[in-house]
């Protein structure tokens, strides 16, 4: 998408607004599948939590991907989008047995990540094959909030507890049809991935009824020019060799699975906001926009970097700005950022706004959540309306208890 396209979307749909470029999503999907084209059976399950608009789920499903889900609501969104239950995997952490049973009853593949639920589920439903999530204890991930494979992590069953898993499987007569890991987000190093994969292969050889091995996700995408990213092509080449060799050893053509979230949608997204105020202080120039961490929390929550472009004036003289929101708390998107000269009323675009942006938006400060637009075949399609005052009040119960008190006072 060009700056003109983005500006046109903001004109048509107002600000703030999220825009997703379907071409980029398709390109990323093709890149990942091409990297593994020499594996006979590959299944990419898109991690819904990154961006869960039904139009996005439909688009990605139309490319051949299934879905990776973490709540029954995400499963229901997937089904509503027309995704077949057998193309959905449920990989929750810390949810109740009841929720897992409800999802399983929908025909969705269950992935269990603790011994207690494994034993309970296996005892009650020995004929339902389940996948197990292993914690390979590999420290990976861009920061401590998104590293989920280390020794103290709450995710997955420790590889040191494999004998315990095998005992449960034997006692309950359940079938393990998949082995899974997901060690974190923003993993740079292909070697770290491959190392964790070896642990997964070793684990897999303990289970005789496997259909698939799921390597999770966590591919690093670039956030700015010159940024490092996971070398998917190199990774594909190396893991393909290992995977095909393992299938030979195992004696069966297994399916190789991934669950990319960020990789598919991060770079496809733009968040457009309008500059309400340019405020010059003695040391800084603030650009105050018509949004805040209620709409885009990643800079404050994860220290994430989002490139910012002034799409109203992309080629002006560059100046330094601190870009801040309208929330009544410190609400800084970027400090001392070089941006083409900003005039009040300009539309600025935050890049990499596809993954974990709208899906983490809230109504804090009683603001409406933004609209979402899908750019497809050179046209803008509204895929979520901006909220209205009714959305803020529709679940509030007006109890009307205080009128008497006021009268007698
Ligand atoms: C969040 C999550 C993913 C997606 O991670 P990305 O870094 O967005 O690719 C994949 N698998 C599981 C189990 C997850 O929880």
Token readout for 387 is: 């909220």
User: Is the minimum distance from the CB of 68 to ligand 1 under 6 angstroms?
Assistant: yes
Which tens digit of pLDDT belongs to each residue from 236-266? 999 999 999 999 999 999 999 999 999 999 9
CA of 186 to the centre of ligand 1 (A): 10
- pLDDT-wise least confident of 63-72, 97-106, 158-167, 177-186: 177-186
With a 6 Å cutoff on the Cβ, whether 261 touches ligand 1 is: yes
> What is the fold, at CATH topology level, of the domain defined by 22-264?
TIM Barrel (3.20.20)
Between these two residues, 192 and 50, which has the higher pLDDT value?
50
Same fold, 22-264 and 269-388: no
Determine contact, residues 337/323, Cβ cutoff 8 Å. yes
| 26 or 225: which leads in pLDDT | 26
For ligand 1, whether the C-beta of 44 sits within 6 Å is no
Q: Which of 131, 247, 328, 357 is catalytic?
A: 328
Helix, strand or coil, per DSSP, at residue 390: helix
Ligand 1 atom closest to Cα of 180?
13
Q: Hey, is 332 helix, strand or coil? A: strand
- Please write the tens of the pLDDT for every residue from 306-347: 999 999 999 999 999 999 999 988 899 999 999 999 999 999
Q: List, in order, residues 6 or more apart from 280 with CB less than 8 Å away.
A: 286
pLDDT tier at 30, thresholds 50, 70, 90 = very high
Q: How many CB atoms lie within 10 A of CB 339?
A: 22
pLDDT of residue 239: 96
Q: Which atom of ligand 1 is nearest to the CA of 186?
A: 7
pLDDT tops 60 at residue 125: yes
Please tell me the predicted confidence (pLDDT) of residue 329.
Answer: 85
- Segment 134-191, tens digit of pLDDT: 998 886 555 555 555 566 678 899 999 999 999 999 999 999 999 999 876 566 688 8
CB 78 within 8 A of CB 57: yes
- At the top level of CATH, the class of 269-388 is mainly beta
Kindly give the number of the ligand 1 atom that is closest to the alpha carbon of 148.
15
Say whether 247 is catalytic: no
Does any ligand 1 atom lie closer than 6 A to the CB of residue 218? yes
**Ligand 1: distance of its center to the CA of 183 in Å?**
9
Q: Let me know the angle formed at the C-alpha of 155 by 154 and 161, rounded to the nearest 5 degrees.
A: 90
- 264 Cβ partners below 8 Å, 6+ apart? 25, 28, 29, 32, 46, 50, 60, 65
Could you tell me the pLDDT band of residue 282, with boundaries at 50, 70 and 90?
Answer: very high
Q: What is the Å distance from ligand 1's center to 370 Cα?
A: 24
Q: In angstroms, rounded to a whole number, what is the distance separating the alpha carbons of residues 274 and 272?
A: 7
Establish whether residue 185 lines the binding site of ligand 1, counting it when its CB lies within 6 angstroms of any ligand atom. Answer: yes
Other beta carbons less than 10 A from residue 92's beta carbon? 21
Q: Which CA distances in Å does 334 have to 126, 199, 267, 288, 351?
A: 53, 40, 18, 11, 12
**Per-domain boundaries in the chain:** 22-264, 269-388
Binding site membership for pyridoxal 5'-phosphate: which residues? 218, 356
CA of 182 to the centre of ligand 1 (A): 7
Q: If you count DSSP H runs as helices and E runs as strands, how many of each does the chain have, helices first?
A: 13, 18
Q: How remote is the CA of residue 240 from the centroid of ligand 1, in Å?
A: 21
pLDDT tier for residue 5 given thresholds of 50, 70 and 90: very high
Enumerate residues 6+ apart whose C-beta is below 8 A from 209: 129, 175, 176, 177
Query: What count of Cα atoms within 13 Å lies in the side-chain half-sphere of residue 139?
Result: 4
Which atom of ligand 1 is found nearest the CA of 266?
8
State the average pLDDT for the chain. Answer: 94
**End-to-end C-alpha distance for the chain, whole angstroms:** 62
CA distance 91 to 343: 46
């Amino acid at each position: 998408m060009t700056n003109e396209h983005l500006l046109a979307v903001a004109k048509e749909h107002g600000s703030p607004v999220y825009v997703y470029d379907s071409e980029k999503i398709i390109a990323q999907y093709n890149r990942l599948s091409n990297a593994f084209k020499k594996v006979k059976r590959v299944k990419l399950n898109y991690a819904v939590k990154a961006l869960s608009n039904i139009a996005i789920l439909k688009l990605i499903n139309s490319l051949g991907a299934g879905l990776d889900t973490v709540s029954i609501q995400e499963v229901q969104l997937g089904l509503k989008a027309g995704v077949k239950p057998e193309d959905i995997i449920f990989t929750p952490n810390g949810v109740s047995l009841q929720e897992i049973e409800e999802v399983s009853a929908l025909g969705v593949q269950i992935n269990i990540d603790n011994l207690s639920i494994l034993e309970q589920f296996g005892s009650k439903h020995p004929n339902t094959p389940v996948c197990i999530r292993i914690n390979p204890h590999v420290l990976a991930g861009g920061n401590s909030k998104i590293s989920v494979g280390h020794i103290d992590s709450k995710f997955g069953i420790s590889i040191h507890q494999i004998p315990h898993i095998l005992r449960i499987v034997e006692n309950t007569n359940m079938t393990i049809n998949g082995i899974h890991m997901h060690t974190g987000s923003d993993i740079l190093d292909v070697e770290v991935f491959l190392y964790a994969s070896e642990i997964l292969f070793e684990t897999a050889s303990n289970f005789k009824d496997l259909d698939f091995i799921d390597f999770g996700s966590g591919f690093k995408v670039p956030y700015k020019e010159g940024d490092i990213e996971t070398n998917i092509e190199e990774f594909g080449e190396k893991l393909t060799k290992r995977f095909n060799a393992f299938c030979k050893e195992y004696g069966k053509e297994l399916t190789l699975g991934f669950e990319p979230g960020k990789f598919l949608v991060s770079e496809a997204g733009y968040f457009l906001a309008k500059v309400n105020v340019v405020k010059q202080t003695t040391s800084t120039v603030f650009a105050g926009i018509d949004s805040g961490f209620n709409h885009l929390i990643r800079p404050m929550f994860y220290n994430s970097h989002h490139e910012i472009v002034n799409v109203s004036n992309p080629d002006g003289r560059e100046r330094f700005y601190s870009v801040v929101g309208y929330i009544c708390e410190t609400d800084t998107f970027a400090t001392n950022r070089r941006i083409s000269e900003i005039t009040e009323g300009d539309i600025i675009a935050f890049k990499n706004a596809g993954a974990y942006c709208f899906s983490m938006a809230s109504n804090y400060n009683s603001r409406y959540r933004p609209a979402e637009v899908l750019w497809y075949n050179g046209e803008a399609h509204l895929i979520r309306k901006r909220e209205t005052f009714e959305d803020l009040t529709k679940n509030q119960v007006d109890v009307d208890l205080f009128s008497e008190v006021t009268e007698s006072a």
